[in-house]
């Protein structure tokens, strides 16, 4: 059991994440990601769904054998063959878990499983007991928990705890709930389920309505102490709650979320980048925390503020999540100050009039070109039409009376001297 304010991070990138379109990884990629996820500091790594295929079983087994520093879990339906496969797959791990799930909503019971509530309760008890015969750590999930009848949900959770479950997960399987509803659900379960204080409550939120992270944090505030999430928020349909967003929220808003965890924050960005290399797509540029624009500024007003004090527009530093440095992007919305700063870094110190001339040419260029690179700026400075201006140069010439006479000789030189 974690301490009351400690959050357990349960990463399901290699299971729920990988089973979504475009996210399939081959064996070596899954093993590489597993090592990185362990280095990130996650407490539980769900390595796959062992019964799904020989490839999935072998990947889970290899991760259990080779990866250290995290608890290795495998998913299993409430079926004997699933649970036995999961047990064999995670057996090599020094610390392991079997994660058993069964639908709790009438919609799923009737149309997907075609079983009654009574049968579901029997399957729950039998499956959790079987899983406990193999491992000490068994998680039970009530699939579609947020659309389940509350009285039946309480019954199912009670049966699972009595059978030996150590973690109870209440998933928002289809991203349907709201933060207020999800928090109320956890408060109800904590108030009404016998023995609930002896287990860990867990969140698992999908992002169909864009509220996965908000729902997850609401669940934590209502008593959940395990968070199920994925790197970059990958997963079924619109994805899962994004690990990096949750971890960043816990870091930045400790006034609202006074919890501890084991995530190594400066590994967030490297882990995100590695996942993008392993699957068929990276993150959107405007993705929170790890997107290319998360610490980039093009607007002149923002750039001015950032140069005065980064706190004006950044609530965390790029280095705090392993993302390197703030990026001042030059584009059509940039101002003179950002342009002058970049030119000075390139070795060109301009006075006000010179800067005005360069800025006029710069704005003309940004109307034609979306991305401005350093070489573009150097070309502006060095091109024939750029900004050569007449600069008077004073030359001292000796005369017989030994009195120096200053003779202005106008010549053309680049302003960059």
pTM, full prediction: 0.86
Dist. CA 32–CA 30, nearest whole Å: 5
pLDDT, mean of residues 187-212: 98
Q: Where are the domains of the chain?
A: 8-278, 296-382
Phi-psi region of 140 (alpha: psi -120 to 50; beta: other; left: phi over 0): beta
Q: How far apart are CA 137 and CA 331, in angstroms?
A: 54
Q: How confident is the model at residue 76 (pLDDT cuts 50, 70, 90)?
A: very high
41/264 Cα distance (integer angstroms):
6
Cβ atoms 183, 213 nearer than 8 A:
no
The two tokens of residue 406 are: 């200053």
Phi, psi of 397 (to 5 degrees): -120, 125
pLDDT at 54: 96
Share of the chain above pLDDT 70, in %: 91
Which pLDDT score is estimated for 374?
Answer: 84
Cβ atoms within 10 Å, residue 199: 21
Q: What is the pLDDT of residue 386?
A: 45
* C-alpha closest to that of 204 among 246, 149, 162, 151: 246
Rounded-to-5 percentages of helix, strand, coil across the chain: 45, 20, 35
Instruction: Give me the sign of the Cα torsion angle 126, 130, 131, 137.
Output: positive
pLDDT (tens digit, 9 = 90+) per residue, 158-182? 999 999 999 999 999 999 999 999 9
> Token pair for residue 28?
């070596």
What is each CA distance from 198 to 158, 403, 406, in whole angstroms? 12, 99, 93
> What Rg do the C-alpha atoms of the chain give, in angstroms?
30
* CA 254 – CA 370 distance, rounded (Å): 39
CA dist., res. 289 & res. 266, Å (int): 11
Residue 45 near residue 14, CB atoms below 8 Å? yes
Which top CATH class is 8-278? alpha beta
pLDDT band (50, 70, 90) for residue 384: very low
């Amino acid at each position: 059991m974690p301490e009351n304010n400690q959050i357990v991070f349960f990463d399901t990138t290699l299971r729920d994440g990988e089973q979504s379109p475009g996210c399939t990884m081959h064996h070596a990629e899954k093993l590489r990601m597993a090592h990185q996820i362990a280095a990130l500091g996650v407490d539980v790594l769900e390595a796959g769904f062992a019964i799904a295929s020989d490839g999935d079983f072998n990947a889970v087994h290899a991760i259990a054998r080779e990866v250290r520093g995290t608890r290795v879990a495998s998913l299993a339906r409430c079926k004997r063959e699933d649970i036995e496969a999961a047990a064999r797959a995670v057996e090599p791990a020094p610390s392991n878990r079997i994660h058993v799930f069964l639908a709790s909503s009438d919609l799923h019971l009737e149309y997907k499983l075609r079983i009654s509530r009574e049968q579901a309760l029997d399957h729950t008890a039998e499956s959790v007991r079987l899983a406990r015969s193999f491992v000490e750590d068994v998680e039970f999930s009530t699939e579609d928990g947020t659309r389940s009848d509350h009285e039946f949900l309480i019954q199912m959770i009670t049966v699972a705890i009595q059978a030996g479950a150590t973690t109870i997960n209440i998933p928002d399987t289809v991203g349907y709930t709201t933060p207020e509803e999800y928090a109320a659900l956890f408060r109800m379960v904590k108030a009404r389920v016998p023995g609930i204080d002896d287990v860990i409550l867990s969140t698992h939120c999908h992002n169909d309505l864009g509220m996965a992270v908000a729902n997850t944090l609401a669940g934590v505030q209502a008593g959940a102490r395990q968070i199920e999430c994925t790197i970059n928020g990958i997963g079924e349909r619109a994805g899962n709650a994004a690990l990096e967003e949750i971890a960043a929220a816990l870091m930045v808003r400790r006034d609202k979320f006074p919890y501890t965890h084991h995530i190594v924050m400066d590994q967030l960005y490297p882990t995100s980048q590695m996942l993008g290399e392993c699957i068929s797509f990276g993150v959107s540029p405007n993705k929170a925390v790890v997107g290319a624009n998360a610490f980039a500024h093009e607007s002149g007003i923002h750039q001015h503020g950032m140069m005065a004090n980064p706190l004006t527009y950044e609530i965390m530093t790029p280095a705090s999540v392993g993302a390197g440095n703030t990026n001042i992007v030059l584009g059509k919305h940039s101002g003179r100050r950002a342009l002058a700063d970049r030119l000075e870094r390139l070795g060109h110190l301009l006075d006000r009039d010179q800067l005005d001339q360069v800025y006029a040419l710069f704005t003309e260029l940004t109307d034609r070109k979306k991305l401005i690179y350093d070489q573009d700026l150097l070309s502006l400075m060095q091109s024939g039409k750029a900004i050569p201006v007449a600069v008077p140069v004073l030359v001292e010439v000796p005369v017989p009376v030994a009195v120096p006479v200053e003779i202005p000789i106008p010549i053309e030189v680049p302003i960059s001297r």
